[in-house]
């Protein structure tokens, strides 16, 4: 039984963040942005958590947890 190595596809080096959301048009982007702002206004979370949500760092349900815990339990700090 011979074992052959499988070569994997080389990743694209131009992508900075592969998890960023891609929109089909500018209208979709602006609609998503306006809905995000409306959701932040309706929520009962703190203003710092709203800022984290609007920046796209965390989802609305996890914004408070992110502020309290952060990376390695040190807490997340927003640049002013």
Place of tokens 């700090």: 77
Confirm whether pTM is higher than 0.75: no
* Inter-residue contact 20 to 26 (CB < 8 Å): no
| Residue 53 domain-assigned (yes or no) | yes
The C-alpha atoms of residue 72 and residue 20 are separated, in whole angstroms, by 23
| 64 within a domain of the structure (yes/no) | yes
Domain count for the chain, please give it.
Answer: 1
Q: What is the DSSP letter of 18?
A: T
- The boundaries of the domain holding residue 46 are 26-73
Consecutive 10-residue averages of pLDDT for the chain (80 residues): 70 59 85 94 92 87 84 62
The answer to whether residue 62 sits within a structural domain is yes
Q: For residue 3, what pLDDT is reported?
A: 72
């Amino acid at each position: 039984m011979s074992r052959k190595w499988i070569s994997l596809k080389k990743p694209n080096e131009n992508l900075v963040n592969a998890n960023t959301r891609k929109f089909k048009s500018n209208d979709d982007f602006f609609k998503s942005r306006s809905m995000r702002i409306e959701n932040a206004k309706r929520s009962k979370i703190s203003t710092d958590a709203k800022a984290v949500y609007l920046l796209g760092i965390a989802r609305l349900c996890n914004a408070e947890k992110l502020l309290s815990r952060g990376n390695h339990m040190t807490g997340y700090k927003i640049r002013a």
